[in-house]
Amino acid sequence: MARTVVPYKIKIVEPIELLSPLERQERIKDAGLNVFRLRSKYVYIDLLTDSGTGAMSHDQLSQMMLGDESYAGSESFYRLEEAIQDIMHLPFVIPVHQGRAAEQVLDHVLIQKGMVVPGNTHFDTTKAHIEFRGGRAIDCTIAEGRDATCDHPFKGNLDLGLLSQAYEKYGREQIAYVLITVTCNSGGGQPVSMKNIKEVSEFCRQNGLPVFFDAARFAENAYFIQQREDEHKNKSIRSIVREMFSCVDGCTMSAKKDGLVPIGGFLALRDEKLFEEMKPSDILFEGFYTYGGMSGMNMDAMAQGLMEVCEESYLAHRINQTAYLGQELIKREVPIVTPIGGHAVFIDGRRFYSGIPEDEFPAQLVVVEIYREGGIRAVEIGSCLAGRDPDTGHNIRPALDLCRLTIPRRVYTQEHFDYIVDVVDTVHKSGRSRRKGLAFDMETKGIRHFTSTFKEL
Ligand code: F0G
């Protein structure tokens, strides 16, 4: 077996505590069986998200000391801009405080009522911003991406047939832009192949459609391309990243993921005219266009983070940590989405609790039970999150009802992973005969999964 190489050692630690079983029972009850409502000090291992939860490096911390907090023309902004230009080869940068802010600025300029945005399973805030502008997101993910066990290496790919159907139906005027999410979070952290990126890009160029990346996990996607697409296996991550970005008109970025920072984001663009059009929206929503809601320190940490995230030793360790967790769960016959994605392991709620009806939120019940059993906080990416159809008001039944074990970057060790495996295995073994799931106690309108409460049936 190949040796595991961990490309860092621990210099600072943050204490965590495991509450007693009785206390955990109480805490989750008080939270209305919704882990978003838990205080973090009641959580032992936090797998809610990989967003803003990574550990920074000492190089990032030292760069922060250079932070220039000038309102306009901050040196920190120019260092960030240079890093983005260097890595992504996109000339124009609009800083924002996080990914959804980039979505807001982009959609404010590009979407008018009645327009559509075809893409591969848009992230929930992405979809919500499109709908907020009066548009609609059209899911064009390949059929394999909706199948939890199909062994396709690039389940985030877009279906060119569905894309051209959308084009035939809506035409150039009604399509605001095409969005490729790398990797595809809502689809299970699944990558998009370089071949597919090029095909989609070519289609868009031929038909005069702008095409953007949702680049939150661009480096992880590049790593999968290097590992799984033969013609790219001898290329560096940096060159794969450049090749990916050469296919698009720009990107939105949540730097809380592959920017390796607690908060931050940006838009990067190829077209100067669009850049000029977006500046006023950035000023309106985020702040002056050389800080966009971030501090100078923040921007310097991000500039350094973007470089570190492209290091091969970092990516190999990162993706292998996720794979380790997934493989250990597979060995114990816990049903998960395969191939294992980049930032998370997704448990298939419907197979985990096969006796529980689909509309009784089986994946949410998995989330609740692994907190009770081991103080681990996961998150539902399924029926609850999918919400209601904005046109009909009916509950949307998503293709997959998943419990996501999301891995923060550079935070947990193999011992933590072994603990997680044991807890999930125990919950799985003891839950096979369950027949009853959850119902809403209080369902909030809008993005409901953050605040709604549940009761056990
Ligand atoms: N796009 C993708 C693919 C995401 O995963 C996220 C956030 C966003 C956009 C929005 O970015 O949070 O910085 O505003 N995903 C987090 C998650 C919240 O837990 O998956 P943001």
> What pLDDT is recorded for position 321?
97
> What pLDDT is recorded for position 4?
85
Residue 389 placed within a domain: yes
More confident residue, 1 or 241: 241
Q: Whose CA is nearest to atom 1 of ligand 1?
A: 123
pLDDT in tens, 324-346: 999 999 999 999 999 999 999 99
How far is residue 43's CA from residue 30's CA, in Å, rounded to a whole number?
14
pLDDT in tens, 10-46: 999 999 999 999 999 999 999 999 999 999 999 999 9
- Residue 99 CB–ligand 1 contact under 6 Å: yes
The sign of the dihedral angle between the CA atoms of 357, 360, 366, 370 is negative
Residue 203 placed within a domain: yes
Residue 7 placed within a domain: no
Residue 6 placed within a domain: no
Residues 184 and 293 grouped into a single domain: yes
> What pLDDT is recorded for position 240?
98
What's 84's domain CATH number? 3.40.640.10
Residue 175 placed within a domain: yes
Residue 5 placed within a domain: no
- Of all residues in the chain, the percent with pLDDT exceeding 90 is 90
Q: Which of residues 255, 273, 308 is at a domain's end?
A: 308
- Residue 51 CB–ligand 1 contact under 6 Å: yes
Alpha helical stretches, state H, 44-120: 58-64, 75-88, 99-110
Work out the mean pLDDT of the chain and round it to a whole number: 96
> What pLDDT is recorded for position 388?
86
Residues 298 and 381 grouped into a single domain: no
Q: Range with the lowest mean pLDDT among 63-77, 370-384, 394-408?
A: 394-408
> What pLDDT is recorded for position 31?
98
Residues 218 and 343 grouped into a single domain: no
Task: Report the residue among 49, 50, 51 best suited for mutation to probe ligand 1: largest number of ligand atoms under 8 A from its CB.
Answer: 51
Q: Which domain holds residue 335?
A: 21-50+311-456
Residues 384 and 274 grouped into a single domain: no
Active site residues: 71, 123-124, 214, 216, 257, 449
Q: Range with the lowest mean pLDDT among 77-86, 141-150, 289-298?
A: 141-150
Residues 328 and 262 grouped into a single domain: no
Residues 298 and 171 grouped into a single domain: yes
> What pLDDT is recorded for position 387?
86
Residues 271 and 161 grouped into a single domain: yes
What's 391's domain CATH number? 3.90.1150.10
DSSP for 149-216 reads T---TTTT-B-HHHHHHHHHHHHHHHB--EEEESSBTTTTSB---HHHHHHHHHHHHHTT--EEEE-T
> What pLDDT is recorded for position 271?
98
- Residue 123 CB–ligand 1 contact under 6 Å: yes
- Residue 216 CB–ligand 1 contact under 6 Å: yes
Whether pLDDT at 353 is above 70? yes
Assign 311 a pLDDT band (cuts: 50, 70, 90): very high
Q: Which of residues 308, 326, 342 is at a domain's end?
A: 308
Q: Whose CA is nearest to atom 8 of ligand 1?
A: 99
User: Relative to the CA of 52, which ligand 1 atom is closest?
Assistant: 13
Residues 279 and 394 grouped into a single domain: no
Residues 374 and 272 grouped into a single domain: no
Whether pLDDT at 399 is above 80? yes
Residues 451 and 401 grouped into a single domain: yes
Residues 107 and 26 grouped into a single domain: no
Q: Where does residue 1 rank: exposed (0-12), middle (13-18), buried (19+ CB within 10 A)? A: exposed
pLDDT in tens, 227-259: 999 999 999 999 999 999 999 999 999 999 999
How far is residue 226's CA from residue 238's CA, in Å, rounded to a whole number?
11
Whether pLDDT at 2 is above 80? no
Q: Which of residues 308, 338, 361 is at a domain's end?
A: 308
- The bridge status of strand 438-442 relative to strand 136-139 is unpaired
CB 375, CB 24: distance < 8 Å: yes
- How far, in Å, from the CA of 219 to the mean position of ligand 1? 15
Residue 231 placed within a domain: yes
Residue 83 placed within a domain: yes
pLDDT in tens, 181-206: 999 987 789 999 999 999 999 999 99
Residues 117 and 233 grouped into a single domain: yes
> What pLDDT is recorded for position 1?
63
- Residue 126 CB–ligand 1 contact under 6 Å: yes
Return the beta strands (E) in 265-328 as ranges: 265-269
- How far, in Å, from the CA of 430 to the mean position of ligand 1? 33
> What pLDDT is recorded for position 124?
87
- How far, in Å, from the CA of 331 to the mean position of ligand 1? 30
Please tell me the total count of domains within the chain. 2
